[in-house]
Structure 1
Amino acid sequence: MMRGPRQDDDSVIENPLKLGLIQANPLAIGLLHASRNTRKLKITAAAECDRALLERSCEPEELKGVKWYESYNAILRDPDATTRVDSVFIGGTTSTRSQWAVAAAQHHKHVLIGCPAAADYESTVVMRDACVAEDVALQDVVPFSHHTRTEEILSTIAESRFFGEVRRVDVAFTISASRDFLEGAGKESTAKDDPLGCLGDLGWACARMGKLAYGVLNPVSAQVIHSEATAENVPVDVTAVVYFGENSTKPCHMHCSYVHPLQQSFKVIGDNKILRCDDFAYPRFGRDCSYTIESFPAGDEGRSALVDLGQCVVSALNTSRCFNAQNQRVSMLDQFADLCLLEDENDWRRQGFEGKHQARELFSSQIIGTQAVVQALVESLRNPGKAIAVPEDNMPPPPPRDSRMRFD
């Protein structure tokens, strides 16, 4: 299966989405770099308090079109139709994101939120409800959720006639953080501002991958099996299992850590095949992404794939590649721009949606569901060995996205 990035005619993008930066952080720098490679979105506003950080880390050309405001509130309140932004990215600390997201929504700005979206589940629900009330889009910055390879993977495992029913998901996202980083995680201020530790960013990605793989099944419970934390109880290493579906029969085993070498792998086990990807968060080769599918004989033969134990395995291992793939972060920005501005229902159908509002509901529900899993894992950390029920969203789930391959 091969698919390149969608190419839009230059004439299609007449008025790109204007994005402002609220509480710029290192991710904002990555967004500035990525925004140079999309015609759908331009970063046009930032605050003076973030100017030194951005100028130190970006080329002058990348900041050429940025207007500098005296404060974040000034970005939201700009009355000038020629300079005011349509949307904002909210970085900063975990503890302050929700309040800025609500303020942005109340000023009719679409919201691109960092990960985790908030420090707790209730704050995330408040954020989502504010965006719904003001009819603005809410999306997080998980890049692989919107990438060509992820679309292909989800299409593959959705073909139950061939892949079989998804039985188990294993996902790991770990990094070997620097000593300075770990010392910072142990500070009292970090426990207040970013209390979720490795669960908030690496664990967020793991939980999202589990949710995507299990599709319409909801997470039911979560249990931490092993953990390490700083003296201020900020988690730096977590091994856990999240159960999906009725009777908790579908496990997602996840490992997120700041103290292990780089891992960014997941495995989806079906009745007939096993899908593996060992660079899901940040592809090793940006424009040549791959994953493998191992297939086994059907029926009873497939249940005894080992022939002459220790000598031969009866299976076929195939590598699927996505050549000339668009950068993941650029794909994420393009999707956000569509979520904010795209009105044509035919264009949305080509993306697998019934329309803009279904897409908005789905992406915001992904945020709510991911935060719910993280919340349950935090509660399990506080109650060692105990499985915690995952909070249920009070809004009905949106219709699922059409998982069939889409060629634009």
Structure 2
Amino acid sequence: MLKDVKPQIRIGVVGCGNISQAYLHNAAMFPAIRPVACADLNRNVADARADEFGIRALDYDEMLASSEIELILNLTVPTAHFDISLQALQAGKHVFTEKPLSATFEEGRRLVEEARARGLLIGSAPDTFLGATGRYARQQIETGRIGRVVAGTAFMMGRGMEHWHPDPTFYYQPGGGPVLDMGPYYLTMLVNLLGPVRRVQAMATSAYTERFVSAEGPLKGTSIPVNTPTTVATLLEFDKGAQITFVASWDIYRHSGRQIELHGTEGSLGLPDPDNFSGVVSLSRLGAPWQDVDTANMAFGALNWPLDAPDRGNYRMLGLADMAEALVEGRRPRASGDLALHVLEVMQAILSAGETGEAVNIDPVDCQPSAFDEIEAEKLLA
């Protein structure tokens, strides 16, 4: 008896930079998706990526006109997200974009509304919350292992980009900064676990007015101006009542704080870096010593990246595989446009509150993803 063959959604990839390698490499593990073409402003880069993965290099206009391509994977720079995604939707293509959904909340809302009006799906990275650690943590919360979540902390702290990035200028200008660059991973994980945010308070500062570039490249040995906050301390009030302190900083050389800790009426839960799909989750019940659970044996939990010496889980494309399943099942994808739009609104509120000192209220929209259990996770690999 022949095995049922899953229908595949055919994908066109726009933007062939470093992140495209992970997406295209990981696509092979998901039967429901198939990249067929790629495009880039630099045709030589697109040709090289196409040769590497056995797909076609096209101009973006050709991609939009192709009846073969059903979904556009937008891996361009954040300032181009809106234009590329809007053109794709207007051409009748579903869209999945790298984070953030767009540069502003207003643009993001336009994209979500455009998709809804056309009966199309739109989704956005990060999809890391669908990995083993995100699923295990949510299971612990929803089964009451730590009771009702009351408080918590989230720390994204490091020393910035200028010691490794050849041109880190963008990161220190409006539109960059630690909140917009790394905040999506932390905030998306928190909304997945706790539901939407309803109020934001924040303070913001910067340790330096200039950054000295030590990374190899054309700017090595020069200084670049800092025109956006590089340390932001935020208090997030969630609609279900939890209060989470979120600190995003590029002014920290070393710290010992766990990336995420949640404290409830029955215990506490600790999560690793939400930029990864896997890692160790720690649980303390009623004050007992931490019990560590390595999620490596769960779906999307094994260390697989970098390819030569894996030290983390990287399953980018998981969100698109779930979107392909959502198309078949007629539901909202978990890494949805609604979720990404809410996170974008929260990030804008953080920056506004940090600038003005005034709390910002947010409409707690229905955007928490549906739970993602092990059976559903394994199904995406079958």
TM-score by length of 2: 0.79
Q: In structure 2, which of residues 359, 366, 371 is the aligned counterpart of residue 397 of structure 1?
A: 366
Q: In structure 1, which of residues 284, 289, 293 is the aligned counterpart of residue 283 of structure 2?
A: 293
Amino acid at match of 2:187: A
CA contact (8 A) 1:13 1:40 kept: no
Percent of counterpart pairs with the same letter? 13
Q: In structure 2, which of residues 260, 266, 269 is the aligned counterpart of residue 272 of structure 1?
A: 266
1:312-336, Cα deviation, whole Å (9 max, x unpaired): xxx2432223243444787552442
3-state secondary structure, aligned to 2:175: coil
2:148 maps to which residue? Answer: 165
3-state secondary structure, aligned to 1:49: coil
Q: Distance in 1 between matches of 2:319 and 2:3?
A: 18
Q: In structure 1, which of residues 64, 67, 76 is the aligned counterpart of residue 56 of structure 2?
A: 67
Matches within 5 A, 1:242-321: 242-245=236-239, 249-260=241-252, 265-282=259-276, 289-296=279-286, 315-321=288-294
The CA deviation at 1:48 is 5.5
Distance 1:343 1:180, change over 3 A: closer
The CA deviation at 1:362 is 7.4
Distance 1:234 1:93, change over 3 A: farther
Distance 1:89 1:175, change over 3 A: farther
1:196 and 2:196 are equivalent in the alignment: no
Measured on the aligned residues, the alpha-carbon RMSD in Å equals: 3.3
Q: In structure 1, which of residues 230, 233, 236 is the aligned counterpart of residue 230 of structure 2?
A: 236
CA contact (8 A) 1:222 1:389 kept: no
CA contact (8 A) 1:211 1:219 kept: no
TM-score by length of 1: 0.74
2:201 maps to which residue? Answer: 222
The CA deviation at 1:12 is 4.4
1:377 maps to which residue? Answer: 350
Distance 1:171 1:55, change over 3 A: farther
Distance 1:234 1:75, change over 3 A: farther
CA contact (8 A) 2:204 2:229 kept: no
Bigger radius of gyration: 1
**Count of aligned residue pairs for this structure pair:** 349
2:30 maps to which residue? Answer: 38
Q: Distance in 2 between matches of 1:262 and 1:25?
A: 30
Where does structure 2 lack aligned partners over 5 or more consecutive residues?
Answer: 211-224, 302-312
1:187-234, Cα deviation, whole Å (9 max, x unpaired): 6x974xx7132222211112212212322x433223235445763523
Q: Which has the higher helix share?
A: 1
Q: Distance in 1 between matches of 2:3 and 2:315?
A: 19
CA contact (8 A) 1:47 1:72 kept: yes
Q: Distance in 2 between matches of 1:262 and 1:214?
A: 28
1:27 maps to which residue? Answer: 19
Q: Distance in 2 between matches of 1:130 and 1:86?
A: 16
Q: Distance in 1 between matches of 2:294 and 2:69?
A: 38
Distance 1:341 1:322, change over 3 A: closer
1:133 and 2:140 are equivalent in the alignment: no
CA contact (8 A) 1:227 1:239 kept: no
3-state secondary structure, aligned to 1:131: helix
